[in-house]
């Protein structure tokens, strides 16, 4: 047990030291998963593998270029406006604290400026988006890696069967895991894209500046489980408060909250199914762990990374208990009686 713990610490330290390489690899895999269905569909139409990959990569490059151009312009404008925006937010916070002080609430200025600092939140938002841009700075290398991964897609199952000692026992479970993971990534991306488009449209209707930027932020943050949709409401709400007033800020919060509720509690449960369920606690801890280890990309990909760990634990008898702890009680049909649930446990 101590050896396993020591090995885990060494692996985590190695990942942290090689963070740039790991991020490049993770982003490449993410894009390759999104491009795999297109390659397989083209090959099913008897188009050679090389041409299939070339077509998919050309489409991917065009989409990335168009998105990058739009987001880059919005981010550049937002960064230019950030100093004056922070000044306006600070002035409004001081005015609000003066109003509250006149009503008998003392010490509110320090709370508003030091602890609840909207200007710092907007600066953090710019840093978040800049951090993502730095993760994509080696875009040419990422696209090359994606190309080679897609070229290996069709031959990978045959290679895996050769490597595995007992392919009839392990390969079906591995295939199911890959299919589930690919399904999750593609569906999650499409759902997040819908959330981003709806947020952009809502910001445009309300007249909030940089609607494309807030839609893109919503698209990214919806990858982060539980708290992502909540965080996505804060920067555009602050922007609307400074630019248009309290009423528009409340409409921004209401609109994005409704979008997040529909996405998280209506669409996703119906589309995703139950085979990817993780324990709520594990999801939250995985967000903290992968986010602190790999930054923005780790927070965005925390669910696929944790699902990969869960599959690895399921593959060995000695670690299967960890996979059970990772999974939701609904996945393993765990039932605890409501009457005095700890009675038998303490009796033992």
| C-alpha distance from residue 230 to each of 24, 121, 210 (Å) | 28, 14, 19
Instruction: Decide if 323 contacts 313 (C-beta within 8 A).
Output: yes
pLDDT at 345 over 50: no
pLDDT digits (tens, 9 = 90+) for 28-45: 888 888 888 888 888 888
Residue appearing with tokens 């009503």: 103
Using CA atoms, how far apart are residues 17 and 278, in angstroms rounded to an integer?
Answer: 28
Which residues touch 63 (CB under 8 Å, ≥6 apart)?
none
| The pLDDT of residue 198 | 94
Using CA atoms, how far apart are residues 276 and 179, in angstroms rounded to an integer?
Answer: 11
State whether 291 and 247 are in the same domain.
Answer: no
Closest CA to 85 of 130, 127, 122: 122
Provide, rounded to the nearest whole percent, the portion of the chain with pLDDT above 70: 73
State whether 304 and 254 are in the same domain.
Answer: no
Question: Using CA of residue 314, residue 319, residue 323, residue 324, what is the dihedral sign?
Answer: positive
Instruction: Decide if 335 contacts 215 (C-beta within 8 A).
Output: no
Output the average pLDDT for the chain.
77
In a domain, 291, yes or no: yes
State whether 264 and 314 are in the same domain.
Answer: no
State whether 258 and 304 are in the same domain.
Answer: no
Q: Is the pTM of this model over 0.85?
A: no
Residues in a beta bridge with 244: none
Boundary (domain end) residue, out of 273, 292, 309: 273
> Mean per-residue pLDDT for 55-64?
90
Boundary (domain end) residue, out of 221, 246, 273: 273
State whether 281 and 255 are in the same domain.
Answer: no
Token pair recorded at residue 245? 């007033």
Using CA atoms, how far apart are residues 305 and 223, in angstroms rounded to an integer?
Answer: 12
Which of 28-32, 69-73, 207-211, 290-294 has the least mean pLDDT? 69-73
Q: How confident is the model at residue 317 (pLDDT cuts 50, 70, 90)?
A: confident
Q: Which residue range(s) make up the domain with 214? A: 179-273
State whether 217 and 281 are in the same domain.
Answer: no
In a domain, 71, yes or no: no
pLDDT digits (tens, 9 = 90+) for 104-160: 666 555 555 555 566 666 767 777 676 666 656 677 888 888 898 888 876 666 666
pLDDT at 71 over 60: yes
| The pLDDT of residue 346 | 42
Instruction: Decide if 233 contacts 270 (C-beta within 8 A).
Output: no
In a domain, 234, yes or no: yes
Closest CA to 276 of 182, 189, 193, 194: 182
In a domain, 204, yes or no: yes
Using CA atoms, how far apart are residues 77 and 54, in angstroms rounded to an integer?
Answer: 34
Q: How confident is the model at residue 54 (pLDDT cuts 50, 70, 90)?
A: very high
pLDDT at 197 over 90: yes
pLDDT digits (tens, 9 = 90+) for 243-301: 888 888 899 999 999 998 888 778 877 776 554 567 778 888 888 888 888 887 888 88
| The pLDDT of residue 59 | 92
State whether 204 and 289 are in the same domain.
Answer: no
Provide, rounded to the nearest whole percent, the portion of the chain with pLDDT above 90: 10
State whether 233 and 282 are in the same domain.
Answer: no
> Mean per-residue pLDDT for 195-207?
93
State whether 247 and 312 are in the same domain.
Answer: no
| The pLDDT of residue 193 | 92
Closest CA to 122 of 111, 132, 130: 130
Token pair recorded at residue 124? 């953090």
State whether 306 and 233 are in the same domain.
Answer: no
Q: How many residues does the chain have?
A: 348
In a domain, 47, yes or no: no
| The pLDDT of residue 10 | 79
Boundary (domain end) residue, out of 239, 273, 307: 273
Using CA atoms, how far apart are residues 285 and 7, in angstroms rounded to an integer?
Answer: 20
| The pLDDT of residue 347 | 47
For the chain, what is the domain count? Answer: 2
State whether 227 and 258 are in the same domain.
Answer: yes
pLDDT digits (tens, 9 = 90+) for 74-100: 777 777 777 777 777 777 777 766 766
State whether 240 and 228 are in the same domain.
Answer: yes
CA dihedral 228, 234, 240, 245 (to 10 degrees): 140
Q: How many CA atoms lie within 13 A of 284 on its CB side?
A: 5
């Amino acid at each position: 047990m101590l050896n396993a713990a020591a090995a885990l610490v060494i692996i985590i330290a190695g990942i942290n030291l090689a963070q740039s390489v790991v991020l490049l690899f993770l982003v490449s895999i993410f894009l390759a998963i999104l491009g795999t269905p297109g390659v397989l569909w083209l090959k099913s139409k008897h188009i050679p593998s090389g041409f299939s990959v070339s077509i998919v990569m050309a489409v991917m490059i065009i989409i990335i270029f168009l998105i990058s151009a739009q987001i880059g312009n919005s981010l550049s404008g937002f960064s230019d406006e950030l100093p004056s925006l922070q000044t306006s937010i600070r002035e409004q916070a001081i005015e609000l604290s003066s109003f509250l002080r006149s009503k008998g609430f003392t010490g509110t200025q320090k709370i508003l400026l030091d602890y609840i600092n909207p200007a710092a939140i907007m600066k953090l938002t710019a840093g978040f988006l800049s951090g993502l841009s730095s993760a994509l700075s080696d875009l040419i290398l990422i696209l090359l890696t994606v190309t080679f991964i897609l070229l290996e897609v069709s031959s990978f199952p045959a290679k895996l069967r050769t490597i595995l000692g007992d392919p009839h026992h392990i390969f079906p479970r591995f295939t199911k895991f890959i299919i589930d993971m690919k399904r999750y990534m593609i569906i999650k991306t499409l759902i997040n894209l819908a959330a981003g488009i709806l947020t952009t449209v809502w910001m445009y209707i309300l007249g909030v500046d940089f609607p494309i930027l807030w839609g893109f932020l919503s698209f990214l943050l919806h990858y982060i489980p539980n708290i992502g949709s909540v965080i996505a409401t804060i920067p555009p709400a602050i922007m609307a408060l400074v630019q248009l007033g309290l009423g528009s800020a409340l409409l921004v919060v209401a609109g994005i909250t409704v979008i997040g509720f529909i996405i998280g509690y209506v669409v996703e449960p119906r589309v995703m199914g139950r085979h990817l369920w993780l324990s709520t606690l594990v999801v939250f801890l995985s967000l903290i762990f992968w986010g602190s280890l790999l930054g923005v990309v780790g927070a965005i990909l925390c669910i696929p990374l944790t699902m990969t760990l869960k599959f690895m634990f399921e593959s060995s008898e000695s670690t299967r208990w960890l996979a059970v702890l990772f999974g939701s009680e609904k996945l393993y049909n765990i039932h605890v009686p409501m009457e005095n649930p700890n009675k038998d446990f303490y009796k033992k």
